Amino acid sequence: MRIEVLLDVKTTLGEGPLWDVEQQRLYWIDSFDGRVFRATADGRELRAWDVPQKIGSMALRKDGSGAVVSLARGFHLLDFKTGDVELIHDPEPDLPNNRINDGKVDKRGRFVAGSMDTMEEGPNGALYSLSTDFKVTRLDSGIICSNGPCWSPDGTIFYFTDTWSGEISAYDYDQDTGGVSNKRTFAKVDGSGGGAADGSTVDAEGCLWNALVYDGKLVRYRPDGSVDRVIEMPVKKVTSVMFGGPDLDVLYVTSMAKPPLPRFPGDGVLRGSLFAIHDLGIRGIPEPRFGG
């Protein structure tokens, strides 16, 4: 195993690595600075787009014109050619202290993302599904900080974490309707080092990888929720993970240069870097595009 600093872009709050198999390009975001990045698998051809609000996550559109992005005030479309951003829907206009956060696309092209309380204190957030015809449905509520949405390889189990709950949850997922049911605990998170569950992805073997933010660790969980492997990272504030590269066998890891709140720890000179982990002997799953 080899951990490489792919790009030292000093993202204030790096998040959401996304590998697109069609373009063979890696995307990621800076949540606080409102920016979308793109580069090749080896960190070349760096490109960036600015968005007008804090951004929680993104997914590429099926037609290749741009992306759907979860901004602080709802779901938007980003046009890569013009840089224009268009509002689709704000599901929480009455909750100014919330913002939309982490999201991913299911096998049928829906974008599923949750909101969070910006102070990370109150259960004021909810989980939403944006359909391919731009209809927004609320799937769950009572969430402090939405993070880590992803699916089992067959798409029938949806994984999700409320970061400060101390656990990763699993739901039964209805691919026909996009509905969730039977919420249960998938794994208890070891927070003894001050960390909490952040972004996640699932590999081709059905194991879930999670970034343990503020503790500088990546944890691989088997499908039964038991811990398979722990990787120590060179920074504490790792935020999310995604497999990519031509063979889907490189694990990309985002990090933050500055903690969102004073109570969280700082980091060394590699803070905010984008990392690539090689030679794990594990492959990921291609990420679907948003169907709208």
Q: What is the CATH number of the domain that holds 113?
A: 2.120.10.30
To the query of whether residue 198 is one of the catalytic residues in this protein, the response is yes
Mean pLDDT on 256-285: 91
CA distance readout (Å), 139 to 77, 115, 163, 281: 21, 12, 17, 35
Banded model confidence at residue 261, pLDDT cuts 50, 70, 90: confident
At residue 23, does pLDDT exceed 80?
A: yes
Whether the per-residue pLDDT at 285 is higher than 90: the answer is yes
Asked if residue 288 belongs to a domain, the reply is: no
**284 within some domain:** no
Q: What is the mean pLDDT of residues 207-211?
A: 98
Averaged over 229-249, what is the pLDDT?
Answer: 98
The string over 244-259, giving b where at least 16 C-beta atoms fall within 10 Å of a residue's C-beta and e elsewhere, is bbeebbbbbbbbbbbb
pTM: 0.97
Give 57-71 pLDDT, tens digit per residue: 999 999 999 999 999
Decide if pLDDT at 262 tops 80.
no
Residue 83 maps to a domain: yes
Give the chain's count of helices (H) and strands (E): 0, 24
Confidence of residue 266 (pLDDT cuts 50, 70, 90): confident
Q: What pLDDT score does 72 carry?
A: 96
Domain-embedded: residue 35:
yes
> Which whole number is the average pLDDT over 145-152?
98
Q: Strand pairing partners for 49?
A: 36
Using alpha carbons only, give the angle 15, 266, 216 rounded to the nearest 5 degrees: 60
Which residue range forms the structural domain that includes residue 239? 2-278
Query: In whole angstroms, what is the distance from residue 78 CA to residue 204 CA?
Result: 30
> Which of 33, 198, 203, 267 is an active site residue?
198
Distance between CA atoms of 258 and 275, rounded to whole angstroms?
17
Q: Is the pLDDT of residue 263 over 80?
A: no
Beta bridge partners of 181: 172
pLDDT score, position 259: 81
Q: Which has the closest alpha carbon to 70: 107, 115, 26, 106?
A: 115
Mean pLDDT along residues 93-122: 96
Q: When comparing pLDDT for 265 and 77, which is higher?
A: 77
Residue 289 resides in a domain: no
Number of domains in the chain: 1
Mean of the pLDDT values across residues 130-151? 98
Examine residue 73 and state whether it is found in any structural domain, yes or no.
yes
Using CA atoms, how far residue 119 sits from 71, 132, 182, in Å, is 17, 31, 29
pLDDT value for 260: 79
- Say whether pLDDT at 15 is over 80: yes
pLDDT at position 21 is 98
Using a pLDDT cut of 70, give the percent of the chain over it: 100
Residue 7 placed within a domain? yes
Distance CA 185, CA 30 (A): 30
Residue 221 lies in a domain: yes
